[in-house]
Amino acid sequence: MGFLSEFRNLLFLAAIFLINFMSRITFGPLMPQIEADLGLNHAAAGSFFLIISAGYFISLLGSGFISSRITHRSTIIISAVAVGFALIGVSLSNGIWQIRISLLFLGLAAGIYLPSGIATLTALVKPEHWGKAVAVHELAPNVSFVIAPLVAEALMQWFSWHGVLACLGGASILLGLTFARAGKGGGFYGEAPNMTSLKSLFRVPAFWIMVVLFSLGISSTLGIYTMLPLYLVTEHGIERGWANTLVALSRVSGIIMALAAGFINDRLGPKRTLSGVFVITGSLTILLGMVKGNWIPLIVFLQPVIAVCFFPPGFAALSSLGPPSARNVAVSLTVPAAFVIGGGAVPAWIGLAGDVASFGLGIATVGGLILMGAFLAFMLRVEPAVAE
């Protein structure tokens, strides 16, 4: 179908992805307060994201088994409602282990959405519009990066961090029920991972390259973002409210840039688009860990400008790795490992570096790895996409 005719449905999916993403990244803006209230060190704080990633990893791997039995639409609804209850569970937890268990369930609930979401939106529009459709979908994480710190700071004027999570959980449940009543798309079954689909993907060198590239792409955005407020507060002495505001404002450009990346990808292709993204993003991430003083706000603003451009070409390339019926399999096999590394291990590493040496060292190391991703992007080979 046409891109404009399905724009409303694409926005509905983006709204669900917005809450799904916010449920995982809001812990970043809240982390200075959580760390103080629970008496955590930086490594323990960073491990929260690793726990969420572990749950996300497990559910992404198994998402195909769920969507193959209850359709992508039902999977999307269940994910939104379950994410809401998991957040409420975290807000009601009294001890560290209760929080960790609830975080694991949060990751499990959130992880089943993405493969079904991508399969649904690529079924709504023709392949020549995939870049733009994915770019609309990718408005969700980029808007989340902007509003999560602002919402967290606003709600903490009246609530503790527990209350912030409870409010977000309620919003997720409400949106899931609304989609069940008024949303369209996804009324078809996914494909569960099987030996045939696995072998067909594993034989494609581009699949393994995409696993690494997605790990680096997630590292450059989510991995850095989750620990950035804590880095600015503890290592640069910036007040928490201003740190969260600075982080939020720095992500405003990502909303436009993600859309622009979709159009650029449709014109230049994923290989050249991704190569440029990694060169610039890696260099700016290294600077983010090295500069001091008045340079910090400037680099905080510049680093995400190009980093967010990874995902439209990344998902467009990923959707081309297999036949249409197996698109959700490609996503559910690639993203889990990438999310554990980029969204879990990287924040944990930055936190550990903050305890042992400095946050800056951890961030600069991640930047060096991202820069090396440009060489892998040059090796990427994908076939032209075909319609359903």
CB 305 within 8 A of CB 145: no
Q: Give the residue, 35 or 22, on which the prediction is more confident.
A: 22
pLDDT tier at 324 (50, 70, 90 boundaries)? low
Distance in angstroms (rounded) separating the CA atoms of residues 99 and 105:
10
Please count the CA atoms within 13 angstroms of the CA of 116 that sit on its side-chain side: 36
Query: 124-164, pLDDT tens digit by residue?
Result: 777 766 777 777 787 788 788 889 989 998 998 899 889 99
C-beta pairs of 206-212 under 8 Å, 24+ apart in sequence: 206/317, 206/321, 206/380, 206/381, 206/382, 207/321, 207/330, 207/333, 207/334, 209/376, 209/377, 209/379, 209/380, 210/314, 210/317, 210/318, 210/321, 210/334, 210/380, 211/334, 211/337, 211/338, 212/373, 212/376
pLDDT tier at 196 (50, 70, 90 boundaries)? low
* Residue 261 identity (one-letter amino acid): A
Asked if the model's pLDDT at residue 385 lies above 50, the reply is no
Query: 63-108, pLDDT tens digit by residue?
Result: 878 888 888 889 999 999 999 999 999 999 878 888 999 999 999 9
Asked if the model's pLDDT at residue 267 lies above 70, the reply is yes
CB 83 within 8 A of CB 172: yes
Instruction: Please give the domain boundaries of the chain with CATH numbers for all domains.
Output: 4-182+193-378 (1.20.1250.20)
Q: Count other C-beta atoms under 10 Å from residue 166's C-beta.
A: 20
Distance in angstroms (rounded) separating the CA atoms of residues 336 and 343:
10
Asked if the model's pLDDT at residue 316 lies above 70, the reply is yes
Q: Give the residue, 330 or 305, on which the prediction is more confident.
A: 305
pTM here is 0.75
Mean pLDDT across 373-377 = 87
CB 375 within 8 A of CB 273: no
Q: Give the residue, 169 or 94, on which the prediction is more confident.
A: 169
Distance in angstroms (rounded) separating the CA atoms of residues 154 and 248:
12
The predicted pLDDT at position 31 comes to 87
